[in-house]
Structure 1
Amino acid sequence: MNTIARATVNLVTNHHRDRACMRQRGMGRNRHNRHLTRDTPSTMQKAIKPKQLPLKLRRWGKMEVRTQFAALCFRVRNDNVEICIITSRRTERWILPKGWPMHKQTPAQAAATEAWEEAGLTGKAYDTCLGVYTYQKYRKKQSFPVITLVYPMKITNVHSDWPEAHERRRRWVSPAKAADKINEPELKRIIASFTPALITR
């Protein structure tokens, strides 16, 4: 066997040996990771985004659907997450701050604007959509479906006076209690399963 042929054989042999070693090490790491995952507390597990529920448009056609952006306003106190809910102006049911798209604002920025105007809250809004829900908007004896995208917002300031302070009530509750007070099934799931770990930094 000449020198070139011998070198080629050695190269192929070393390549297969290295790949075998890598597979063995990888299997070892997988077994180790499974052990760590089993023994790691639930608070350290990677957050899993909740499954989106099907949208309910009822009798309306696709061309009649409108879009809004909502702010899921949260804060952490004594290691407990709190969600801010407010009352709607017409029916006084519990909702999240929400509103229509705004010129030259991202969806998260528009949601943050609504959080200030409707709830008197300011902070950092994240461009991470947590999910989508639908509800019926009533206006001038007519109604139409609205698809609302939910964006998380970490609250840093709670103001005592804001544009709609005399039109709405504001309350801080746990995610479970907030979900219980909300009517929309899709939004209930989004709120109940929310954790700050879902936010993409």
Structure 2
Amino acid sequence: MPKKPPLLAQLAGIGPGLSVNGAREQFGAICYRLNNETRALEVLLITTRESHRWAIPKGWPMEGRTGYQVAEQEAREEAGVSGKVSKKPFGYFTYLKSLSDGERVPCLVQVHLLKFEKALDHYREKGQREILWCSCFEAAVKVGEPELKGLFRLLHDPKSKIRP
């Protein structure tokens, strides 16, 4: 089986489709908390249902809901977490979404921070995904999207003015 090219090489092949007008829009949440024992910042990763790669909760726009409300709902449905979500976007990243018909489309994800308050016992996609709380550094290593890696690094950087 031939090796899949790196993500940046795949994205380069669809250049014009990554313009704001050509990409599909999604909204996602970087869920974070302070570890009770170490007081270190941790972020939540989930696996995708099809490819089992590490990602953040994210989804398509919903009629009547803002981007931050969609991000909050996706965190609840996909990872079973609730908390206070930031109305202001933390950042953006792009990736290639594989649709059920096999088509791959470019997506631009608006990311909001969600401060973890509680884990839910029951949620829509329970048992369909793995969930992992980890350091920002570990999250940046595990995810494949370069811009999402950068968001985790920015969140981790103690010199950054952007703090949760």
Same fold (TM over 0.5): yes
1:1-201 matches, within 5 Å, as: 56=11, 58-59=13-14, 60-61=16-17, 62=19, 63-77=21-35, 78-139=38-99, 140-194=101-155, 198=162
Larger Rg: 1
Q: CA deviation at 1:103?
A: 1.6
Give the structure-1-normalised TM-score: 0.67
SS at match of 1:134: strand
2:163 and 2:28 mapped to 1: Cα distance?
15
Instruction: Flag the structure with higher helix content.
Output: 1
Q: CA RMSD in A?
A: 1.9
Give percent identity, aligned residues only.
34
Partner of 1:44: none
Alpha-carbon distance in 1 for matches of 2:147, 2:12: 13
- AA of the residue aligned to 1:188: K
Amino acid at match of 1:145: P
Gapped runs of 5+ residues in structure 1? 1-55
How big is the shift at 1:64?
Answer: 3.2
TM-score, with length taken from structure 2 = 0.82
- Which structure's relative contact order is higher, taking Cα pairs within 8 Å and 6+ residues apart? 2
Q: Distance in 1 between matches of 2:127 and 2:47?
A: 11
Unaligned runs of 5+ in 2: 1-10
Q: If each structure's strand is expressed as a fraction of its own residues, which one has the higher value?
A: 2
Q: Distance in 2 between matches of 1:82 and 1:199?
A: 13
* Deviation (angstroms), 1:142: 0.8
Give, in whole Å, the separation in 2 of the partners of 1:174 and 1:129: 21
Aligned AA for 1:101?
Answer: P
Distance change >3 Å, CA 57–CA 130, structure 1 → 2: farther
| SS class of match (1:191) | helix
